[in-house]
Amino acid sequence: MKELLKRYLNFSLIISIISVILMISELGFDVPEWYKIIISYIYLITLGFGSIGIIIRYFGFQIPKIHILLSDLLILTIFGFSLYNSFYDIIDHYQKAFILFAITILFLRELSNINFQYKKSFSNPAQLFIISFLILVLFGSFLLYLPNATHQNIKFLDALFTSVSAVCVTGLSTVDIGSTYTLFGQSILLLLIQLGGLGIMTFASYFSFFFKGGTSYQNRLTLGNITNSQEIGKVFSTIKNIILVTFIFELIGTVSIYFSINPNDFSSEFERIYFSFFHSISSFNNAGFSTLPNGLYELTYRFNYSLHLIIAFLFILGGLGFPIVFNIFKYLKYLILRGVNYFLRKKKYHHMPWILNLNSRLILFSSFILIVFGTFFIFIFEYNHSLAEHDFLGKLSTAFFSATTPRTAGFNTIDMASQSFPTIMILILLMWIGASPASTGGGIKTSTFALATLNIISMAKGKDRIEVFGREISNNSIRRAFAAISLSLMVIGVSIISIAAMEPNLPFLHIVFESFSAYSTVGLSMGITTELSSISKFILMFVMFIGRVSMLSILIALFKQVKFSNYQTPKEEILIN
C-alpha cells in the first residue's frame, strides 16, 4: 500500500513539473486563446491530483507542522474556488494569478519531498555553490530570452549578460532595462537578483526544510559551510533569519521609497508601487539595476535627496553582511534591556562583555572610515565640478551617496564619465574594497582590506602578530585575506589586458574602471558597456561570475582537498625586501 502511495506522489510531482513548464510557455510566448483554455484545465487537474496527494499524506503519514498545514490548506482552498468558478466560466485574471501561485507552491511542495542526500565524496561545498550559480545563470538567460520578456527581440548574448549581471548582483547591462524588458521580463530580473543576492542554495534549502521539517546531518554540514553558520544545529534557523530580515528590510524600503517619490511622475498607482518594489530589492541586494534610462541621475530624481538616502541606507545595510546585522540587533537588544532594567529596578543591569564581536567591530569601523574618507574627498574634488548644480546640503548628500555606491551598490546620481581623475581613482579603490563578508555585495571585502592595513602597521612596529581591539587575528584569516587580494588583482589584470587588446579604440581608463566594477559586482560604468564586442562581453561575464563566487572558491572547487596535515616541515625565512 505504501509503495502505491509513493508512486502516486511521484506522479503528482511529474504533473506539477509539467504544469510549471506549461506556465512558463504561457507567460513567455504569445499563445492562442484555445491553448490558454486547455492549459487552464490542466492546471485544475494538477491542483486536483496535488490536493488528493495532500490528503493521502495526512492519512498515510504523521500530521505535519503548522506552516506545512497552512500551505496545504492554501492549495486546497484555491483549488476549491477555482473548480467552483470553472463551472460558471468566471475565471478572471486575478483568479488565474492565484491558480499559478498555487501551482508554484504545489511544485515546491512536491519537489521538496525528494530525498536528496549530499555526499562530499561527489563534490565539495564550493563546487555545489558554484554549480548552483551556473544553473541559475543559464535558466535566467533562457527566461529573459523568451519573446514576452522583451518589448523587442534581443540577442541571446544580451539575455545571458543580463542574467549573469543579475545573478552576480552587478548591475552592468548591455541594454536599457526599463525600455527593453516587459513587466514579465523585469519580474524575472528581480527574481534572479533576489536568488543571486542571497544564494540559490539558501532559498532551495529553506523551502526543502520548510516542507519536509528536517534534513540529514551531512546536508546541515554542507549548508553550514555555505552560510557561514557557526552551529550546525542552527543552520536552518540562520537561513530563516536571513530570508526574514531580507524581506522585512525590502518591505520597509518599498514603503519608504513609495512615499519619497512624486505620484505625478507615474501614470498609475501600480507603476509607483512597482518602481518602489523594484528599486528596494535592487538596492538591498546591491544589484544596481534601475528601470530608469540614466539611473538615479535621471533629471526627475537627480535632486530627490530623500530617495538617495533611503536607497543608500538599503545597500549599506545589505553590504554589511547578515552576521554583522544579526550581531548589531543582539547588541541593541542588550542595550535596550539594560536601559529598561535600570529605569524600572533602579539598579545596574548585568554586564555582558563582547556582545559586539571582533568581526562586527572591525567591519563597522573600517566601513565607517571608508565612508568618511570617500565622502570627504569626493566632496572636495567635485565641489565645483559634477556637484556644481547642487546646493551645499545637496553636494554633501550626493558626495555621501557617491562614496557609498562604489561599495558594490552600482547606483549613480552623477554622470560617471564626467568625474575628475582623482575622483575616478578613489571610486576604483572603493570598488575594489567592496562590501563586507557574507553580504549581498562583492569586492575583496572590508575585513580583507582592514587585515592588510593592520598587517602593514604591525610589521612597521616590529610585531610578529596582528592585534586589534584586544584580540589577536588568526594566521588562517591573514592567509585568506592576502590570497583574496592577490587573486583579485590577477583576475582584474587579465581582464584589463584582454579587453584592452580587443577594444583598442576605447579609453584605457574606462576599461580599467569597467573591469574593477565587474569584478567587485558594482555595476558602475563610464558608458562603454554597450560598445563592447561579443568577446569583451564574455570576458566581463566571466569576471562578474568570478567576483561573485570568489576566485578562492573556484580554486577550492578545482583542487583536491588535503585530508591530513598533522605534520610540520623545517621553517626558513624567504627574502622579501
Is residue 403 a part of any domain in this protein?
Answer: yes
Residues 283 and 367 in one domain: no
Does 570 reside within a domain?
A: no
137 and 205, same domain (yes or no): yes
Residue 543 confidence (pLDDT): 93
**Domain stop point among 315, 345, 365:** 315
CA angle 427, 433, 438 (to 5 degrees): 135
Residues 308 and 402 in one domain: no
| Same domain, residue pair 289 and 344 | no
284/353 same-domain check: no
State the residue range of the domain holding 17: 2-111
Buried b / exposed e along 47-58 (16+ C-beta atoms within 10 A): bebbbebbeebe
Residues 203 and 218 in one domain: yes
Distance, CA of 57 to CA of 72 (rounded, Å):
11
Instruction: Encode 537-565 in three state secondary structure.
Output: HHHHHHHHHHHHHCHHHHHHHHCCCCCCC
Could you give the CA distance from residue 210 to residue 216 in angstroms, rounded to a whole number? 14
Do 99 and 133 lie in a common domain?
Answer: no
Q: Domain tally for the chain? A: 3
The answer to whether residues 408 and 499 belong to one domain is: yes
Q: Which of 315, 332, 351 is the last residue of a domain?
A: 315
Torsion angle (degrees, nearest 10) of CA 450, 451, 455, 458: 70
Does any domain span residue 238?
yes
Residues 154 and 70 in one domain: no
Instruction: Return the residue matching grid coordinates 545595510.
Output: 317
Residue 574 belongs to a domain: no
Provide the 10 A C-beta neighbour count for residue 176: 14
In the prediction, which pLDDT does 217 show?
44
Low-confidence ranges of the chain (pLDDT < 50): 88, 121, 211, 217
- Confidence at residue 479, expressed as pLDDT on a 0 to 100 scale: 87
Phi then psi dihedrals of residue 468, to 5 deg: -155, 135
Q: Indicate whether 92 and 222 sit together in one domain.
A: no
The pLDDT value recorded for residue 186 is 93
Residues 413 and 306 both lie in one domain: no
User: What pTM was estimated for this model as a whole?
Assistant: 0.86
Q: Which helix (H) or strand (E) holds 452?
A: helix 446-460
Q: Is residue 277 domain-shared with residue 334, that is, in the same domain?
A: no
